[in-house]
Amino acid sequence: MTHILHITASIRNDDSVSNNLGSALVEKLSAQEAATVTRRDLATDDLPYQSWERFNAGLTSPDERSPEQSELAALADTLIGELQAADTIVISSPIYNFGAPASVKAWADLVARAGTTFKYTENGPKGLLEGKKAFITIASGGTPVGSDIDFMSGWLTFFLGFLGIEVVEVIAADGIMGKDGDAKIDAAHDEIAKLAA
């Protein structure tokens, strides 16, 4: 049995286009693969920003951490564990002000841990989360996904690759505040419906 991690980031809850696309995708993947699903809502988790103390706690071996360091590292340990356990990662996020929501960046800063999710080698950094596949379901009001003013999809795809997740597929409904917004949402759902196992 495979395991899917579904990460959401929209503040719009049930009205979120990116969340709804992600849920449709997770439902399809679950039916195809008889998968279990873990859900992580970054919009409500109130993730802390990385700090020097939290960063050092994460780099300290668990059996050498002080009680304070164990507490500081606990959340990142959990988030990293979710990634490590997943075969497929679905990240559902809107584009806010041309980029990723702050919660997505906070999550990325917590899960990027040298020696755990990536390592430094003589040939440069190497991701340690290999063999996984990721999907990114994106909604934007006016920013064309993949354009010069989209600073989220390229960054997030690169970041996942940095962690070793090199198979990343983007499914987007962009410019949905325009006159053909509903058609773009429908087209994204159609793309999901046509996905092969």
Q: Is the pLDDT of residue 87 over 70?
A: yes
At residue 13 the predicted structure's pLDDT band, cuts being 50, 70 and 90, is: confident
Please state the length of the chain: 197
CB crowding 29-68: b at 16 or more within 10 Å, else e: bbeeeebebeebebbebebeebeeebbebbeeeeeebeee
Residue identified by tokens 């990114």 is: 136
Average pLDDT over residues 159-177: 96
Domain ranges of the chain: 3-193
Q: How many CB atoms lie within 10 A of CB 188?
A: 24
Return the pLDDT at 33: 74
Q: How many CB atoms lie within 10 A of CB 192?
A: 19
- Can you name the CATH fold of 3-193? Rossmann fold (3.40.50)
Query: pLDDT tens across 100-138, in order?
Result: 999 999 999 999 999 999 999 999 999 999 999 999 999
